[in-house]
Structure 1
Amino acid sequence: MGFTPGGSCPPPMNDGGAVREVLDRISDKWSLLVVGALVSGPLRFGELEKTVTGISQRMLTLTVKHLAEDGLISRTAYAEVPPRVEYELTELGKTLVPLVIALAEWALEHRDEINANRRR
């Protein structure tokens, strides 16, 4: 049975909050942008900060911490001087990539229509 607009939520959405819990964590302003930035490979903190335009150092710190806690990215600290830390997608995080790409493509495809509706 598929989703019908105006109808009830499809069965996976009525799961006692599990979907909401995950969506709350990854649908904040920055998480998917950080995941998207890591698609091409590991990045250092400063590289992530430059890639994810507009994110503050504090917010990037919190975002990578939460993504690491959830097992979506890994943090590797190297015993070097100066210290070097890299972040990269885990196998679990890589399963999110097709969804991030699909959402980005959808956003680009519908951006003009959404903006036109906002101006009404």
Structure 2
Amino acid sequence: MSKKVFIFDDNKDILELCTLILEGAGYETKTSSTSNHIIEQVAGYQPDVILMDNWLPDVGGIEATQELKRHPMYKGIPVIYFSANNDIKALAETAGAESYLAKPFDIDQLEQIVVAMIGK
């Protein structure tokens, strides 16, 4: 059974790149360009880890991550916060994310951080 990664980003290129890298590494992936209704989205897929972009339309990454972390069933899913923002560490902490990844990132960095969170 492959581990599942849910990627939230409003940039199609990033979604395609992450999907290629992670599926190539043996993970199942699902993508969404919005973090609206985060609980419903996560409940429908039951991911092992979430990649959350900072800037998303309507509900931003921080708000969506905080909502997830308040939920008794889904708060245990690790969130990797990713952003091109210089304050990414502070943003990830505010959101309650377990880890973060600065954009632009390379293929190895993405794979390593996912492996570190949930294994192969």
TM-score category (smaller protein): under 0.3
The normalised TM-score by structure 1 is 0.24
The normalised TM-score by structure 2 is 0.24
Computing the radius of gyration over CA atoms, which structure comes out larger, 1 or 2?
1
